[in-house]
Structure 1
Amino acid sequence: MISGAWRGRKVPVLDSPGLRPTPDRIRETLFNWLQGELVDATCIDLFAGTGALGLECLSRGARFCHFIDQQSQVCRHLNTQLQILGGTAKSQVHCTDATNFIDHFADSADLVFIDPPYRQNLIEPLLPILSGWQTRWFYIETASDETAPFVPGHWSLHREVKAGQVCAKLYYNTLTD
C-alpha cells in the first residue's frame, strides 16, 4: 500500500495467468489525482485481480469497496488478504464477471476502476451500462499501444498518464455536477 492506514503493507500477488498489478508509479499518480475524493467513498474494482486499486482506496478511508473478479482462485486470495488487513467489514468480493455484476448492481458508487486484462476488448461492452450510472469518477487502464475505448460523451477526461506499457485515464462524469 502506498498511503493510508495500511501504508507500507505488501500484498502478495497471486501467480495466475494474465494477472498483473497496476504499477506503483501509475497507482501513486492516480491516487494523487483522487486525493480528497476517497474518504467515505464507495468504490468498485472491476477486474480486481490483485485488488491493489480497491485495497488502496480502503487504506485511504473509503467507506466500502466491491471487488469483482471471475476467477475463483483470485476471489479466495482477495478474501484472504482482506481478512489479514482487517478490511472484510468494508468490502465484498463478488466472484462473477464484470458484465454480470454491473447488470445487477442496484446501489451507487463514487468511483469505478476498469482495469481488465489487456487486449481482450473487455471495456467497450461495459460502457453502455456504465454510462447511465451516477458514478462521479471512472478510471480506465489499458496497454499503451491499445486503441482507447470510445467513452460516453458526458465523461470528461480529467487526467491521463502513460508510463511504460500502461495508459491510465481518469474520467469525470459531468452528469454528476
Structure 2
Amino acid sequence: MQKKKPAAKVPVHGPQHAKQVRIIGGDWKRTPLPVLEALGLRPTPDRVRETVFNWLNHLKGDWGNVRVLDLFAGSGALGFEAASRGAQQVTMVDANAAIVRQLQAIQEKLNATNVVVQRADALALAQSLAQRGQRFDVIFLDPPYQEDFLSRALPLCDKLVADGGLVYAESGLPLVSEDGDAPDWLEHWEVVRQDKAGMVHFHLLQRRAG
C-alpha cells in the first residue's frame, strides 16, 4: 500500500433522492419502492443499479444459487432488485424501525418468500453472522455517507463473503485515488469494477487470494 494522503471531505447528504424508486429488472420490474424521509437514507439511483446489476449478471450468471446480504437496506432498492432477479435468499438489515416496517410491508405485498428482513445494528449483526459461519455470494454495503461505516463493515465481510463472492460498496468518494492510494482497510480487497455517477462512487470488490 502506498502512503495515504489526507482524506478528502465526504459529501454529507449525497444526491438528492426522489420519494420513490422502481425495481428495474426481474419478476417485479417497474414495481415502485417508497422512500422514507430518514437521516442518511439515499437510495441507489436507477442508473447506478442498472450498471451494478449488469456487472453482477456478467460475473455471477444465474441468480438462482446466489445468497445476498444487504447490510444497510434503506429503501430496499438493492435487496429487492436482487430478489426480483431470482436470488436464492436476500437478507435485508436496517436499524431504523420505520424503515424495517416498510420493508416488511413491501415483502408481504410482493409475496417475496426469498427475502428476510431483520431490524438490527448492521455491524453487530455482521459479526454475529460471521460467528455462526454464514456466507453470502453478494454483499451490498450502501451506508450513510457521513459516517465511517465502510471502514468498519468491509473487514467484517472478509469472513462473510463466500469464495468467489463479491461486495458492492457505495460511497461519496472513490475508494482508490487516481494515484493508486487506498486505505489500509482495503488491503485485502481487489476493486474489480468501479464507476461514478454524479456524487455516487460505486465499486465491486473481491477478496484477494491468499
Tell me the TM-score normalised to structure 1 length: 0.90
Contact 2:29 2:84 in 1 (8 A): yes
Contact 1:145 1:165 in 2 (8 A): no
Q: Which residue does 1:104 correspond to in 2?
A: 128
Structure 1 or 2, whichever has the larger Rg, is 2
Q: Which residue does 2:81 correspond to in 1?
A: 56
Q: Which residue does 1:26 correspond to in 2?
A: 48
Q: Secondary structure at the match of 2:205?
A: strand
Query: Is structure 2 residue 123 aligned with structure 1 residue 114?
Result: no
Q: Which residue does 1:4 correspond to in 2?
A: 26
Q: Secondary structure at the match of 1:2?
A: coil
Query: Is structure 2 residue 188 aligned with structure 1 residue 161?
Result: no
Which letter maps to 1:108? R
Q: Which stretch of the first structure deviates more once superposed, 95-104 or 32-41?
A: 32-41
1:33-69 per-residue CA deviation (whole Å, 9 max, x = no partner) reads 0011533211011110001001000000101101110
Aligned length: 175
Q: 5+ residue gaps in structure 1?
A: none
1:109-160 per-residue CA deviation (whole Å, 9 max, x = no partner) reads 1010000001210111123322233431000000137887544434221110
Q: Which residue does 2:169 correspond to in 1?
A: 140
Q: 5+ residue gaps in structure 2?
A: 1-22, 177-181
Query: Is structure 2 residue 92 aligned with structure 1 residue 70?
Result: no
Distance 1:31 1:151 in 2: 25
Query: Bigger relative contact order, structure 1 or 2, given CA contacts below 8 A and separation 6+?
Result: 2
Which letter maps to 2:195? V
Q: Which residue does 2:13 correspond to in 1?
A: none
Distance 1:16 1:94 in 2: 18
Q: Secondary structure at the match of 1:25?
A: helix
Q: CA RMSD in A?
A: 2.0
